Amino acid sequence: MLCDRRIDGARERWIAEHIRALELGGADTLENMGPAHEACAMVKTQDDHRRAAKAKRQKIQDIGAYGSKRPLPSGKRSPWKRTLSGRIVRR
């Protein structure tokens, strides 16, 4: 359960949701499923998405694949520039 309120299965909308989100490594098994108010589950899913996206960003940074943020080898912010003849020289 995601909140302290009891779920009235007859009168409230509820779903079986993944206690640990699949995208955060949770298992797709009954043991990892629990009842939750539909509204609560939606909030949690959004939070899980944020956390998964953040973890993904950190992983990308760790392996140094943040290419778009790096200045081009011969770009304006690089200490090198390419001459008209194609040679790379220091500025």
**Residues found near Zn ion in the complex (CB under 5 A):** 3, 37, 40
48 is written with which tokens?
């899980």
Q: How far is the CB of 33 from Zn ion (least distance, A)?
A: 15
Smallest distance from Zn ion to CB 11, Å: 13
Which of 40, 52 has the CB closer to Zn ion?
A: 40
Q: Which is nearer to Zn ion, 11 or 69 (CB)?
A: 11
CA 8 to chain CA mean position, Å:
33
Our CB check for Zn ion shows the closer of 35 and 73 to be 35
Residue type for position 22: L
Q: Which two tokens stand for residue 59?
A: 């992983």
Contact, 17 vs 43, CB < 8 A? no
